[in-house]
Homo-oligomer: A and B are copies of this chain.
Amino acid sequence: MKLQLTSPLDMHLHLRQDNMLKVVAPLSSKTFSGAIIMPNTLPPISTKEQLLRYKEDILNATKGDTFTPYMTLFFKNDYSREFLESIKDEILSIKLYPAGITTNSEGGVSTIDVESLRPTLEIMSDLGIVLNIHGETDGFVMDREAEFVPIYKALAKAFPKLKIVMEHITTKASADALLEFENLYATITLHHLYITLDDVAGGMLQPHLFCKPIAKRPEDREALLELALNANPKVMFGSDSAPHPKSAKEAPGCAAGIFTAPIALQLLAQLFDKHNKLENLQAFVSNNAQKIYAITPAKKIITLEKKSFKIPSSYGNVVPFMANEEIGFVIDN
């Protein structure tokens, strides 16, 4: 059995920089038509010059592939209207990080509320720039995302014309909030559809399954599956694929992030097939995102075949999700 996907999109991707970029970018550009590139580099992307240079690095690394890097800016509360007007055609969105919440987010925002963010968000709303948010408080690890939900709601209510994407949602609380406001959308990762905290720490401790937000409870995963498998128009696939060298994952103080880019489509096909929902995969991995972001990606047909495939033990020095496991779909391009 073969399955064709047209112009798959990864609406939340980390490509890092330098050598890591050169290793991982082609693994995304091989199978995706485009991806939203997260700006939490070192330093974070916050000027036009940085943005264009980063985009060029990505285009160089993915040369020969049909692949659009949709660029994002690292949210800062002091961007001027002039600056945002001058850069808006170069970006698809701006990503807001609470300070210190994840990799390279130290320069993020320390107070996240409607009044603090009003000046910048009003400009973004006027200019039609989408807001991506990593929605976690600094509370207890299992509660951080749910505690952020009132902030999502307050922002959605205060800026009704601003499209807000709740990035990599992991909880039923977020899934419920998403459906309450017209201008709230969400990305869902591959790994949060597959794992719960049980997989990370229920048996032995598995650093390669450690990510932020951390995988949550079974009922949370169920809520995400309900949205994704039915391709609810409010949600899109965003891998949050986050490469870290093996040595940084397999040591005390293990870095947060799961690398899924090269096996994302195969594992999504397997999941949707298992639930008899393959007919919804095209919308989840492309059409929904096209509507939400009003983009038309370059045409790229990816063919998946239902056939045994063993996930490699590593790509360069990065260990992928489900390394060495046999899965049931392979890319046949």
Hey, what's the 0/1 contact readout for A182-203 against B, CB within 8 Å counting as 1? 0000000000000011101110
Which size bracket describes the interface of A in this complex?
A: 20 to 34
Query: Is A218 interfacial (CB-CB < 8 Å)?
Result: yes
Hey, what's the 0/1 contact readout for A274-315 against B, CB within 8 Å counting as 1? 000000000000000000000000000000000000000000
Nearest residue (CB) in B for A206 is B252
Is the pair B142, A142 in contact by a Cβ cutoff of 8 Å? yes
Q: Which of A214-272 contact B (CB under 8 A)?
A: 214, 217-218, 249-256
Query: CB within 8 A of A207: which of B140, B205, B217?
Result: B205
Query: Is A42 interfacial (CB-CB < 8 Å)?
Result: no
Query: Is A16 interfacial (CB-CB < 8 Å)?
Result: no
Is the pair B254, A205 in contact by a Cβ cutoff of 8 Å? yes
Query: CB within 8 A of A140: which of B198, B210, B252?
Result: B198
Query: Is A168 interfacial (CB-CB < 8 Å)?
Result: no
* Copies of this chain assembled into the complex: 2
Is the pair A201, B202 in contact by a Cβ cutoff of 8 Å? no
Query: Is A14 interfacial (CB-CB < 8 Å)?
Result: no
Q: Which of A104-153 contact B (CB under 8 A)?
A: 140-142
Is the pair B253, A251 in contact by a Cβ cutoff of 8 Å? no
Query: Is A12 interfacial (CB-CB < 8 Å)?
Result: no
CB A243 to nearest CB in B, in angstroms, measures 16
Is the pair A201, B204 in contact by a Cβ cutoff of 8 Å? no
Is the pair A206, B140 in contact by a Cβ cutoff of 8 Å? no
**Known contacts A205-B207, A207-B205; A142/B197 CB under 8 A:** yes
Q: Can you name 4 extra interface pairs (CB under 8 A) apart from A140-B218, A141-B202?
A: A140-B197, A200-B201, A205-B205, A208-B252
Q: What are the 5 A-B residue pairs with the smallest beta carbon separation, nearest first?
A: A205-B254, A141-B202, A204-B253, A205-B210, A141-B198
